[in-house]
């Protein structure tokens, strides 16, 4: 366990260095390429209930995707992280205007407030068809390196217990985030697919 933790920490450090070297223009350029790829993806086209992360500065930009989810009349769910634990819910947002009214967290991303009880949580209703995954690093065998809090792994295990089951998971990755092999342990949930800009 200690060896796994140490190798994850070392890889996180390396990936943060790689991401820090990416210019804002390059992040924007790759994000647009990936958004277009996703919008043509059969799993996205057929999905009705989509969970999407609101990106931090070192993650693929998701604004275009969110705009398209609303344009196509799909249901859009975004994360609400409880910083005191590894608990996360996926709460429904109704429009771009609704999203823009949400408070900012210390990570500088918008999310419904901790005491918000009025929004639909994906697992208390019809589950999710598709979940877009953030992360620091990914390999092509489904390995994903997050930030160490376990939010997504915990949530995906909860999804597995829902009648509809686990959604299809697609990670959105800058090509600088691809790794030969991400160290994974028994608590890490593998993802179905990584979208990145192929050479």
Residue 44 assigned ligand-binding role: no
- Say whether 10 counts as a known binding-site residue: yes
Residue 127 annotated as part of some ligand binding site = no
Q: Is 59 marked as binding a ligand?
A: yes
Helix 63-71, helix 24-39: angle, nearest 10: 30
To the question of whether residue 144 is assigned a binding role by annotation, the answer is: yes
The reply, when asked if residue 151 is annotated as ligand binding, is yes
Q: Which residue has the tokens 């390196």?
A: 145
The reply to whether 17 sits in an annotated binding site is no
146 is in an annotated binding site: yes
The Cα 79–Cα 92 span in angstroms is 9
156 annotated among ligand-binding-site residues: no
> Residue 81: which H helix or E strand, with range?
strand 75-81
The answer to the question of whether 8 is labelled as a binding residue is: yes
Rounded distance between C-alpha atoms, residue 93 and residue 2, angstroms: 39
- 15 three-class SS: helix
Is 104 assigned to a binding site?
Answer: no
Q: Annotated binding residues, as ranges?
A: 8-12, 54, 59, 144-152
- Name the binding residues for substrate: 54, 59
Binding site for ATP, residues?
8-12, 144-152
């Amino acid at each position: 366990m200690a060896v796994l933790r140490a190798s994850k920490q070392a890889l996180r450090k390396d990936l943060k260095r790689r991401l820090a070297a990416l210019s804002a223009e390059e992040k924007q350029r790759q994000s647009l390429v990936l958004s277009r790829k996703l919008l043509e993806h059969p799993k996205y086209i057929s999905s009705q209930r989509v969970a999407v992360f609101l990106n931090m500065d070192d993650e693929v930009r998701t604004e275009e995707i969110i705009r398209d989810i609303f344009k196509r009349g799909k249901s859009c769910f975004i994360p609400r992280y409880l910083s005191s634990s590894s608990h996360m819910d996926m709460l429904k947002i109704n429009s771009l205007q609704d999203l823009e009214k949400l408070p900012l967290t210390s990570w500088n991303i918008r999310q419904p407030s901790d005491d918000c009880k009025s929004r639909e949580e994906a697992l208390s209703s019809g589950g999710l068809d598709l979940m877009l995954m953030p992360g620091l690093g990914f390999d092509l065998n489904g390995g994903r390196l997050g930030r160490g809090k376990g939010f997504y792994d915990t949530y995906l295990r909860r999804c597995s217990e829902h009648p509809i089951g686990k959604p299809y998971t697609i990670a959105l990755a800058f090509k600088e985030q691809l790794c030969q092999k991400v160290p994974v342990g028994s608590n890490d949930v593998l993802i179905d697919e990584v979208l990145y800009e192929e050479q």
